[in-house]
Structure 1
Amino acid sequence: MIKAKLKAMWSIDHDLKTYIPEDKNEFYITLNLPIGSSKTDGADYFDLFVCSPEWLCKHQWEPEILRHTLVVRKYDLDEITETINKYIEKCTCKTWEETAQKLSRYFAWEFEDYSD
């Protein structure tokens, strides 16, 4: 079985070590998540849009099915990381391809819809 592991996490817009939203209750951030097998150094890249309900209420005008989005009540990087890891733990499969496909239900995978 392939157990997936979050190898790192960053945002191209903010330094996660120092980032504090102006309003912890109304924010959004896109996270880049290299995730790979716990037995190897390699990883595929996944993205996740994280926002607060207040941000959605003010900026999402049209009805839309939201995919690859985590809605949280406040910006708490530890809580966000813990939530991401809980979803990753649900994605253990026999092969990396199956594992990555399962991960792509929650996170935007770099190879989603890719064909040779």
Structure 2
Amino acid sequence: MKALLKSIGSIDHDLTLYFPEDENEFGIMLSLSIGSSESNGADYFNLFVCSPGWIDKNQWIPEILRHTLIIRKYNLDEITGIINKYIEQCSCKTWAETAQKLSRYFAWEFEDYTE
């Protein structure tokens, strides 16, 4: 099952207008809608994207960073391309298996969900 990035957005910013004051020092939470190429539906995933400069100024304690993309400069096209490369690596036989793989990189809305 092939997974596709169906939309990308941000709760805090309109990505069609957003550009950080300093493209070398930024942090933004992205909302990703990812679903099967065989359906219109999608699940939601989150990814924090930041620069090394943002980490230097904002992350004071040692921490293992999860669901985070570190990139030197803000460029939405480049960020989207990187996200798509990771999504392409996650195709499996079922959506459940695919979503589990995606959750290694992106925070999945159903992670740790139990019925």
TM > 0.5 fold call: yes
Q: Deviations over 1:57-102 (max 9, x none)?
A: 1110111000000000000000000000000000010110000000
Q: CA deviation at 1:49?
A: 0.1
The number of aligned residues is 115
TM-score by length of 1: 0.98
Map of 2:23 onto structure 1: 24
TM-score by length of 2: 0.99
Q: CA deviation at 1:39?
A: 1.0
SS at match of 1:9: strand
Inter-partner Cα distance in structure 2 for 1:86 and 1:57:
27
SS at match of 2:22: coil
Map of 2:109 onto structure 1: 110
Inter-partner Cα distance in structure 2 for 1:23 and 1:12:
20
Q: Does 1:58 align with 2:75?
A: no
Inter-partner Cα distance in structure 2 for 1:16 and 1:108:
19
Inter-partner Cα distance in structure 1 for 2:83 and 2:67:
11
Inter-partner Cα distance in structure 1 for 2:81 and 2:64:
24
SS at match of 2:44: strand
User: For 1:4-43, what aligned pairs fall within 5 Å after superposition?
Assistant: 4-43=3-42
SS at match of 1:83: helix
Map of 2:91 onto structure 1: 92
What letter matches 2:73 in structure 1? Answer: K
Inter-partner Cα distance in structure 2 for 1:75 and 1:63:
24
Q: Could you list the runs of 4 or more consecutive aligned residues of structure 1 that deviate by over 3 angstroms after TM superposition?
A: none
